[in-house]
Amino acid sequence: MITPPWDLGDLVVKFVPVLGTLVLLGAIVQVVLGFQVAGGSDVLVGPHILFGLIGLILVVGLTAIAFRTKTSTLYSKITIIVLTVVVLLQIALGFQLLNGAEAMVPSHEMNGLLIVVLALVTGGITSMNARKQETQTA
């Protein structure tokens, strides 16, 4: 059997920080877009929805990677699960807002800020875990 010169697991693990950074930056852009939409800029509703769905795909991808990687800690798995649930809740709240439930605006805004915080926490845990593993192998 011919094996490729790269290990797919190692390749995926190297892209986790990039995906995590994309999630964090996307969440920050989403907060800015969301405040613009709340301020009356209805033109930005479409991009806000699109970025939200792309963010969901990235978070679900990170969750799958966290559970397939042997080096993931329990803390990183818990935070990514919580992040996934919060993103799903955020999308549900967003669709409620599209249906006219204006009372959900504060919940949607606070949930967006929570996503930014959870993305930072997840990135911090992943970074600390990577540093610890580098010192153990060195």
Q: Residue 49 has what pLDDT?
A: 92
Question: pTM here?
Answer: 0.82
Question: How many DSSP H helices and E strands does the chain contain?
Answer: 4, 0
Distance spanning both ends of the chain, measured CA to CA: 32
The Cα 60–Cα 54 span in angstroms is: 10
58, part of any domain = yes
> Tokens standing for 3?
């094996």
The Cα 11–Cα 100 span in angstroms is: 44
Which residues of the chain have a pLDDT value below 70? Answer: 1-14, 138
The Cα 44–Cα 99 span in angstroms is: 17
The Cα 58–Cα 54 span in angstroms is: 6
Q: Residue 43 has what pLDDT?
A: 92
The Cα 118–Cα 58 span in angstroms is: 14
Secondary structure (3-state) at 48: helix
Is the separation of the CB atoms in 90 and 112 below 8 Å?
yes
5, part of any domain = no
The Cα 119–Cα 125 span in angstroms is: 10
Q: Residue 10 has what pLDDT?
A: 58
Q: Residue 57 has what pLDDT?
A: 93
Is the separation of the CB atoms in 23 and 56 below 8 Å?
no
The Cα 133–Cα 138 span in angstroms is: 9
* Number of domains composing the chain: 1
- What's the pLDDT tens digit per position in 56-70? 999 998 898 888 887
Domain span at residue 85 reads 17-137
Q: Residue 110 has what pLDDT?
A: 94
- What's the pLDDT tens digit per position in 6-29? 555 555 566 777 788 888 898 999
